[in-house]
Structure 1
Amino acid sequence: MSSSLSSVYSPSGSADAAATGVAHGHGAAVGGVLKRCRELVRPSLVEAVGRLHPWTGEMAAYALGWSDAAGTPDPGGSEGKGVRQALAVLGAEAVGADGGVAVAGAVAVELVHTFSLLHDDIMDGDGLRRQRPAVWKAYGTGPAVLAGDALLALAVQCLAEAPGPWTGEAVRRLSGTLNTLVHGQAEDLRFERRPWSGAGAVDPGQYRSMAEGKTGSLLGCAIALGAVLGGAPAGTVAVLEQAGRHLGVAFQAVDDLLGIWGEPAVTGKPVHGDLRLRKKTYPVLAALAGGGPAARELAVLLEAPGLLDGAAAAHAAMLVEEAGGRAAAREEARRHLDAARRGLRGVSLARGAAEDLDALLACLLDRSW
């Protein structure tokens, strides 16, 4: 794997396609920032994955969009937008350091993110990821679990080997984030067993807390790692991390919108996919919490046994919107993006990086990816 990984990864394929997708819908500036940060991190990420066992390395390359399930280069594969990588790099640049000092942190958070996707897809039963079979579907459940474990171990190792005086603090921060991430995932899984209405039902506030742990913690960690490795004082690091957590909650709210109303060709998931699986997401929970006839009809529909077919899922989506869930999720995202902006403006940051961060925040509410 390590000897052929550079040929498996196609720098002119999936990475540029991802940047183009962001630029087309959300502004060339953001697409350029994401592309620049990915290209800075890419060599170290490729080198890190090349250290894995050939089999787990092959699965990692597939998960990252570099190759197909046969281990051959896949220029059409999607590696994602690299938001977490960019946050790490921008975190360092925002405190006046060169973005290169954050590369180890960016590699670590990208590996952790990929690990979490591998395991999440298994736990959620999601068979598709980025418009092709999830790793567990392509390789099997056991191998996918093993590949996720390998990526997690590699993430900690890569960060622990980073040069400089701040490595210990960076590793401690990542370790704490991993515990928070698992806590959030545990809550998400427990939500599946709770009723849709009545005593014990999940409310939007509980979902928000889960999202901050499951999604917000890693985005907050990404920008904080950049700042830590850039030598920032503790107060500045704390503000940046909290801004990243707000960004993560907003990111999850928009993800939930896309899980119901997203374009399958862009999201890689079927239309109304989250409703078909009866996932407890923010738009649905907000709709149920609002009360009214549409909310009551929605609760009855969701409490019926079995998966929802296409017609039932489409009707459920209409009820969620009618009950105000779609608007509530957009407002949730907007509120947390505004909180992230306020936090970033409350500390002294390097102008260029601050502008890049603000542009990234501005594009997320209306993203389609």
Structure 2
Amino acid sequence: MFQIVAMEKNAATATGSERLTGRIKGRGTPKNDVGRFERLARVAVDDGWDTAEEEMPLRRTHVTCERVTKVVTRNTSPDVPFDRSLNPYRGCEHGCIYCFARPSHAYLGLSPGLDFETRLIARPNAAQALEREFMRPGYAPDVLAIGTNTDAYQPIEKDRRIMRGVLGALQRFRHPVSIVTKGSLIERDIDILGAMAADRLASASISITTLDAKLARQMEPRVPTPARRLQTIERLATAGIPVRVSVSPLIPGLTDHELEAIMQSACDAGAVAASTISIRLPGEVSGLFQDWLARAVPGSAAKVMARVRQMHGGRDYDATFGTRMKGQGTHAELMRRRFQTACKRIGLREHLPRLRSDLFVRPARAGDQLSLF
């Protein structure tokens, strides 16, 4: 049996890991390296007890609540088509091994590895904070993006219902919203989203990385199956909600051959648009992803990382604006051309219809002076 001890982080311990088991059921990674800002590293050492590994308890999800005064995050990145976003949760129980948001947990003093999937932070007053933001006299409405960092429809949303409250606030203020998710739980909110979509106030993007259910389970352990996500597209589209399929991340040498098949399947289900983003491996994500490759698809690991580096100037990741989501070089250009050709052949747009911002209204509150006109 192993116990975890803390020691000064140095060259010897920088790559040390709190690895609880070779593979934890339902989790994307068994690694739990400390964040890059921590002084101490956690290292597993043999304590002399011969306790079988399978007898060790599984890592369960632990949720902490965070009361927020402000919930809208602003950005000026030229790589994304929005300037504001909202995240009801920090960390994500879906456990996608490739998730570019994992390093954000390091700012909380937590590991981008297993902690990111199991030590979550919920924002129960997100809807109230959002309404306060909307009531500010200087607030100018524009599309609010949700799900751009962590998934608002991860499993804990079923009980927490924070996203449901946020949508209620958006509907009351007639504020446009665009949602990205892998979670079929979005179907619960079709009543709100359908009504908003009728006024061009809502759209959704469903992420599908692969159609291979086995590979998806390995990469995205707590995400609905690819077939179930296609069903979600169909149900949203039937309710009149514009849906885009996000073939993201596209992993060279592993899932890129499925690009056209995913797009065609999504179109058949009712998607009207498509997008794709190449895999990004910032910060700690690179080590976690390479560890996963070595365990899950050892025969493809070298090829995948060679292609990734080819698309990022010889590095695991290049954060340069303009190329960080697309990559560069021959393979990246080939992917762009394949995507554009598939859009034309299949009949998918590259962008969803523009949502309206001119319907925004601040509901009257008790004590407000009402207008005569």
TM-score (norm. length: structure 1): 0.32
TM-score (norm. length: structure 2): 0.32
Structure with greater strand percent:
2
Larger Rg: 2
| Greater RCO (Cα-Cα under 8 Å, separation 6 or more) | 1
